[in-house]
Amino acid sequence: MSEEPKKEEGTPSILDKLKIKKTGVRPKEKIYQPREDKTTSPKDDKPIQIKLDGEFKMVATCMQNMEPELEQELIDLGAKEIQVKRRAVEFVGDLELLYKANIWLRTALKVLKPIYHYSAKNDDELYKRALKLPWETIFNSEKTFSIDSAVSSTHFTHSQFASLRIKDAIVDRFRAQQLNRPNVERFDPDVRIHLHINDTSITLSLDSSGTPLFKRGYRVKQHLAPINECLAAGLILKSSWRGEEDFFDPMTGTATIAIEAALIACNIPPNLNRTNFAFEGWNNYDVSLLSKVLGQAQEVYRPLKVNIYAKELNSNNLRSARMNINSANMRKSIALEQADFFKTPPPSDSGVMIINPPYGERIELQEGLPDFFEKIGSTLKHEYSGWDAWIIASDEESFKNIGLKPSKKIPVMNGKLECQFRKFELFEGKRVEEVIRRSGKKRD
């Protein structure tokens, strides 16, 4: 746990920047009106417009196997024409939905707005078509920009070169319009463009999020093996827990799972404390609309009705957990204590727990991994009847060592590790009696 803290302190959050108080008072600021697009394409003389008013198509990207949760989140936000793809969900909506999607989606990594789809077989074609786009209607010369790319094609073997040709097209387009050229900034650009190439099929999108959405803004201290915030939220959503019974994160590390649980239970958007979204760099950035979306988000806050417990054995990790909980304003909602899961009694009689145990690869264990998982199994069996325990782990052997029969098995990815998220329903006596007992209670 020797990694240097990565402070996000001192940077104003989006709420601070817009001067939104808890009362939801909105600043009066002028709405920017984008210039009318009079651009014409040299080939067919038809103007190419980048549609950012009315309704348009968007794509939210996610981790593998998080598509069902992302789809449900988009349904809840009122998205239309939803189509589930691999690691992405397409949908239709307006600028307000684009802002809401960035602020509210717990499982999305980015929200992209496709602007141009075309076919190209070589770098020259790639460049020429991109040159026709009225980039100057999206952002002005003072903004910096960058191009991210995802390339899978035999025609374009160097993704960096393809990105460079799009960069050239953008710069040349500004010059051709007698405008100053915008500068490229690799690390912290104002505007981000996403280039996707699949064989000869090219899609250019505006990346409305910028820094990926799992960077919520509450993580103060970096831990050696924190779980990704989108994964943590996705696991909670998969468990069906929504804040109606107690929740326990017994090996909390930096408290990501406990914090995401508190955000879900209180109906707080995960990205309320973000400092920046890339859509703020666009010409059509509508600060009043964003203020409205943030103000509405605060109005739907739900007070916590249950307990959220978190335990951690390691002192350094405990300190990180405390700092993150404070930074997320969840000090009063999460009961954090330094404790050994194996040596302390359950925090209450029943509830839902999500265990993210050490994988043995990145975190050293005093005992071997088999013994550690065996101890998890026997602790659950002997101490936790009445609870639903969900465990995320990467290998079958570890699950075997738990020695309990799961009632659900869901494949998930934790970074590059293929994992399983398994549910164990813990009860004393016969299963049939437990089913009858629980039938009065709404559980997954």
Ligand X SMILES: C[S@@+](CC[C@H](N)C(=O)[O-])C[C@H]1O[C@@H](n2cnc3c(N)ncnc32)[C@H](O)[C@@H]1O
Binding site for ligand X (CB under 6 A): 223, 225-227, 251-254, 256-257, 311-314, 317, 340-342, 356-358, 363
Minimum separation from the CB atom of position 440 to ligand X (A): 32
Q: Which of 89, 262 has the CB closer to ligand X? A: 262
Q: CB-side exposure of 267: number of CA atoms within 13 Å?
A: 13
Minimum separation from the CB atom of position 257 to ligand X (A): 5
Minimum separation from the CB atom of position 220 to ligand X (A): 12
Minimum separation from the CB atom of position 382 to ligand X (A): 15
Q: Which of 251, 391 has the CB closer to ligand X? A: 251
CB count in 10 Å sphere of residue 211 = 16
- Closest residue to ligand X, Cβ-based? 253
Minimum separation from the CB atom of position 114 to ligand X (A): 33
Q: Which of 130, 230 has the CB closer to ligand X? A: 230
Minimum separation from the CB atom of position 1 to ligand X (A): 8
Minimum separation from the CB atom of position 269 to ligand X (A): 20
Q: Which of 195, 323 has the CB closer to ligand X? A: 323
Q: Which of 93, 253 has the CB closer to ligand X? A: 253
Q: Which of 134, 358 has the CB closer to ligand X? A: 358
Q: Which of 93, 217 has the CB closer to ligand X? A: 217
